[in-house]
Structure 1
């Protein structure tokens, strides 16, 4: 029984990911072509060959679809941070997981560039973009709280560390998209290491 359940679950997850990716791609391409205001949820769903109801199973709004927010990703990253070796310092644990995430982003770099361009061209997307980052910071804070035995709602440390490292990650991503032939994992490493060192100026 167990041997047949695992492949079925894996197939289900792959189908869900394929549907989510199709909706994200259609929403992004349509927005880049005609602007967000000219794009409807009905159009996105039809182009991805799913119903409007299915669309709302994956995204709450068209803005969320365009910025590519995966509502399950914060929980996955939180769990990955929690699963790091127990003796690892919180910042080191965050760095390791964000480096893995950076490698995944690098594989699909054109998609990320298009998303950032869409946000630049359509300021209405900024709120959804910031909400996505906020969800990620919350997940990171929960992970740090779990690892340190603190309370993310009461204690300052988990949220402060999560927010600082998340911002370092965002700065690295912005530099990666603006700089020629930049390596995202290397930029994430540099940004987080500068933060961990107390932001002392690097040697010239």
Structure 2
């Protein structure tokens, strides 16, 4: 078990090194000028090692998003099972956003990169969609009446609302709290599930 744990920690460290290299290089040089080889070199691994972890530079760059969405799903899972589905999603989102930028100092810059590059936007949508099944299960656990399609729609709508809230927040005047925009977005979407 100790060896497996060490191996997993090393894999995670390599994955994070590749992600951080992708972010740093994209910020410094622009995404279009960054190559997989440059990312691998900056992380001090081979091109083959890069390919063992990521299929593209976009995937490496957005690995942080994947980790954030996993934490968000975990936050939803930890909410009380008696909480109504949208209330649980909203509470988890507001709890989650409090430390969103604190964990990754390049988060806002990365989001701005996503806005400028369609390939990154497509990768981000894919990342969010990959968590939809788990969120659907969490919604279904909290609602005896929700049919499977309604649970899936709610989970998908929640993930879209999270993405839209962040994009809207970037367009608001500097100093606008993300929590205000997130609550506003979630409240607007909640009307569809009442």
TM-score (norm 1): 0.74
Q: Does 2:62 align with 1:67?
A: yes
Give runs of aligned pairs for residues 47-196 of structure 1, distance below 5 A. 47-69=42-64, 71=66, 74-108=69-103, 111-148=106-143, 155-179=148-172, 180-196=174-190
Shift of the 16–187 alpha-carbon distance from structure 1 to 2, 3 Å rule, reads farther
Pairwise CA distance, 1:57: 4.4
Partner of 2:39: 44
Write the distance in 2 (CA, Å) between the matches of 1:25 and 1:36.
13
Instruction: Give the SS at the match of 1:63.
Output: helix
Between Structure 1 and Structure 2, how many residues are aligned?
Answer: 191
Write the distance in 1 (CA, Å) between the matches of 2:67 and 2:145.
24
RMSD: 3.2
Contiguous gaps of at least 5 residues in structure 1: 200-204
Pairwise CA distance, 1:98: 1.6
Pairwise CA distance, 1:90: 0.5
Shift of the 58–70 alpha-carbon distance from structure 1 to 2, 3 Å rule, reads farther
Write the distance in 1 (CA, Å) between the matches of 2:28 and 2:116.
11
Q: Deviations over 1:85-144 (max 9, x none)?
A: 121000111112222321222325752221123223333322212211222333322321
Shift of the 89–140 alpha-carbon distance from structure 1 to 2, 3 Å rule, reads same
Pairwise CA distance, 1:26: 1.7
